[in-house]
């Protein structure tokens, strides 16, 4: 009997649940388990999930990314940003931009295609908060590094989405091979990003009025999902960044609606199975046979992303006059990378299709390495900073 999409979904969800139980034995984040079980069950290994099944699942990554961006925007409440002060905001932008610029430069200097370098470099900004927060909670870390770390990781992914949107717009101009003028190659990214921000802001206002009108919890959840899907659909048609649109929509909504906390909580409740499938499918796409061809690039990415983040954190901490202990140790806590980076790697297959497989393989392998090493390094850094007993 040939498995259909329903049995394949059931198999994928059960495998994901089992992997989360197994991975907890060695105290690693669930996302690592989803990636590994996806790789094992995928078309390049046991073939429990065939290429045809993976093709049928293609809608899942786009929806998952829209929901991830929606949740990131929720962190941009002005009250919250005023409360934490300028230091986390400055550090988040500095460490994100530091990673992007350093990876871009290293790849371009070593002779790689500029469009490929820009797209891969942009993904370097993203940090996975889950693994870092797990360490903070497990060891009850307290102190200036921890207090700065929590808002930085909340803001960090927003910086990654902005950097990715800008880099993609420039990469599209480079890939046009001279078919557009220099002025157009400068103006088009501005229009694309500006359009995404304006459209997202309008949708945020619309969402506010809709959730005021529909007051039931089920109705508000349905409206929110409809708006996320609308954001993705219209963005795909118009060429805008769906990530920036969804993030801006939720950021505006978070600041103008009294119901925002309730709505974000409702949306968060339905995301676990979607995110599980998203990471599992990402793992299933991992083709280890092309590892030799991306090995050198992967090593450059893994090393210089960390160096860029550490240097950027130090610069941001100095500029914002953070405590010396923050300058010295915070950068070590920003190594993990997962959800947003994997999603952006998936989008890269559309932007630079000739390099899509390479970028996905690099990011997925880097994710596994970062998720294995990141929590351990975070623990050591917090211990050195005197914030873990």
Residue 48 tokens read as 């429990």
What distance in Å separates the CA atoms of residue 125 and residue 165, rounded to the nearest whole number? Answer: 12
From 258, 168, 157, select the one nearest 207 (Cα to Cα): 258
- Res 181: pLDDT: 55
- Buried-exposed string 332-357: b where 16+ CB fall within 10 A, e elsewhere: bbbbbbbbbbbbbbbbbbebbeebbb
The CATH number, out of the four listed (3.40.50.1970, 3.90.1300.10, 1.20.1530.20, 1.10.3720.10), of the domain defined by the range 5-384: 1.20.1530.20
In order along its 389 residues, the chain shows pLDDT tens digits of: 566 788 888 989 999 999 888 888 877 767 778 888 888 888 888 888 888 888 888 788 888 888 888 887 887 788 877 776 788 889 989 998 999 999 999 999 998 888 888 888 888 888 876 667 667 766 788 888 887 887 787 677 778 878 887 887 777 777 665 555 556 656 766 777 788 889 999 999 999 999 999 989 999 999 999 999 999 999 889 878 788 899 899 999 999 999 999 999 999 888 889 888 888 887 887 777 777 777 888 889 989 999 999 999 999 989 988 888 888 888 888 888 877 788 788 777 777 788 777 888 888 888 878 877 777 788 888 888 888 87
What is the DSSP secondary structure assignment for residue 215, as one 8-state letter?
A: -
What distance in Å separates the CA atoms of residue 352 and residue 368, rounded to the nearest whole number? Answer: 23
- Res 131: pLDDT: 66
What distance in Å separates the CA atoms of residue 360 and residue 381, rounded to the nearest whole number? Answer: 29
Q: Where are the domains of the chain?
A: 5-384
Sign, CA dihedral 305-306-307-313, equals positive
Counting every residue written for the chain, the total comes to 389
- Res 232: pLDDT: 92
From 124, 158, 344, select the one nearest 250 (Cα to Cα): 158
């Amino acid at each position: 009997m040939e498995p259909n999409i329903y049995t394949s979904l059931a198999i994928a969800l059960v495998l994901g649940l089992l992997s989360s139980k197994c991975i907890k034995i060695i105290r690693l984040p669930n996302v690592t388990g989803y990636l590994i079980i996806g790789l094992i069950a995928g078309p390049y290994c046991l073939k429990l999930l065939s290429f045809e099944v993976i093709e049928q699942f293609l809608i899942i990554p786009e929806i998952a990314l829209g929901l991830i961006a929606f949740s990131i925007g929720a962190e941009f409440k002005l009250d919250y940003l005023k409360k934490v002060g300028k230091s986390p905001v400055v550090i988040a932008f500095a460490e994100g931009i530091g990673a992007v610029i350093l990876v871009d430069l290293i790849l371009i200097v070593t002779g790689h295609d500029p469009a490929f370098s820009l797209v891969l470099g942009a993904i370097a900004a993203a940090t996975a908060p889950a693994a870092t927060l797990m360490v903070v909670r497990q060891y009850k870390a307290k102190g200036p590094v921890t207090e700065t770390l929590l808002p930085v990781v909340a803001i960090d992914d927003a910086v990654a989405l902005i950097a990715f949107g800008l880099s993609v717009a420039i990469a599209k101009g480079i890939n046009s091979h001279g078919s557009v003028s220099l002025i157009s190659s400068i103006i088009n990214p501005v229009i694309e990003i500006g359009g995404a921000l304006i459209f997202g802001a309008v949708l945020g206002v619309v969402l506010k009025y809709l959730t005021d009108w529909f007051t039931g919890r089920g109705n508000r959840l349905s409206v929110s999902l409809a708006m996320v899907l609308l954001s993705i659909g219209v963005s795909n048609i118009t060429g805008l960044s769906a990530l920036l649109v969804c993030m801006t929509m939720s950021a505006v909504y978070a600041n103008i609606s009294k119901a925002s906390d309730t709505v974000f909580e409702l949306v968060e409740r339905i995301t676990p199975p979607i995110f599980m499938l998203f990471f599992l499918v990402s793992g299933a796409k991992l083709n280890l046979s092309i590892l030799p061809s991306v090995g050198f690039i992967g090593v450059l990415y893994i090393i210089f992303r960390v160096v860029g983040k550490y240097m950027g954190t130090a610069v941001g901490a100095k500029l914002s006059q953070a405590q010396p202990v923050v300058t010295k140790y915070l950068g070590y806590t920003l190594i993990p990378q997962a959800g947003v980076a994997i999603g952006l790697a998936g989008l890269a297959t559309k932007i630079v299709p000739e390099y899509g497989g390479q970028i996905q393989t690099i990011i997925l392998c880097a994710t596994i390495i970062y998720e294995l090493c990141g929590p351990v390094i975070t623990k050591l850094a917090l211990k050195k900073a005197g914030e873990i007993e």
